[in-house]
Amino acid sequence: MPTSATPLKALSTHLVEEHPVAIEINQVSYAVMLASPHDLEEFVIGFLLSNLVISHNRDIHDINISQQDNAYIVNVIIANRCLVNLQQRQRQLKGTTGCGLCGTETLTQAFPTLPTLPAMSAISPNLKTTLSVIRRKLSTWQTLAKNSGALHAAFWLNTDGQIVACREDIGRHNALDKLIGYLLKNGIDRRQGAILMTSRCSVELVQKSILAGVPTLISLASPSQFAVNLAAEHNLLLVQIPKKDQPIYYGIE
């Protein structure tokens, strides 16, 4: 805790950033989220996929990001067919860094119909071998957390279990949206790899992974029973990596 002799400004460089991000679709307000101001274009792409506004990166025609005082304004121009679908289920969503369901108006919107992923017969042997030692590799990729801490991270692992990308945010759901946006933006086959989260595995992370078409979701903390049940129903493999014990597989082994 800072003392009276320690100016707060001297500590500000070590604090995590958090800003309102106002998302507009075709210049109409859609959502206001609280997020770390990094990789915002990827964040919005992933967020719109997770909210069923788009299904592919090509559904976005343009993204413009501007700053107004302490907030960021992101205006996204989407394809007409996506806009028509959105208008049919128009809603206002105010997000926070908390549970991820805040602002959702109905249970249908909170728990949309999810696709069923292709069933996996086995996990990649290379990925399975890497998971037992991967914890020690994560910190080298978390460049923002090195300065401030208090940031969640989402990693993309290829089929060999190697880390390809990392996205960070104060909100675990935002970090995952940023990673999904990265995958879409770069045309990466989301069926050939796995997502690893530094956070606990909540239901919304399961939903986002299924909607992105990713077959495996790995977390450093245990999933909820609801998350395990939902994942099993849609063929998403969940893996927990404890601090000391071997990985736990909720699904195939």
Which residues belong to the active site? 99
- CA 159 to chain centroid, in Å, comes to 20
Give the whole-angstrom CA distance, residue 17 versus residue 129. 36
Contact 201, 217 (CB under 8 A): yes
- In b/e form, how buried is each residue of 224-237, taking b as 16+ CB within 10 angstroms? eeebbebbeeebbb
Tokens coding 200: 């606990």
Neighbours of 6 (CB within 10 A): 10
User: Residue 194: which of 139, 231, 230 has the closest Cα?
Assistant: 231
Query: How many residues belong to the chain?
Result: 253
Residue in the structure block whose two tokens are 């450093």: 220
Give the whole-angstrom CA distance, residue 75 versus residue 54. 15
> Is the Cα torsion angle 105, 111, 114, 117 positive or negative in sign?
positive
User: Residue 209: which of 246, 237, 245 has the closest Cα?
Assistant: 237
Give the whole-angstrom CA distance, residue 219 versus residue 240. 5
Give the whole-angstrom CA distance, residue 93 versus residue 95. 6
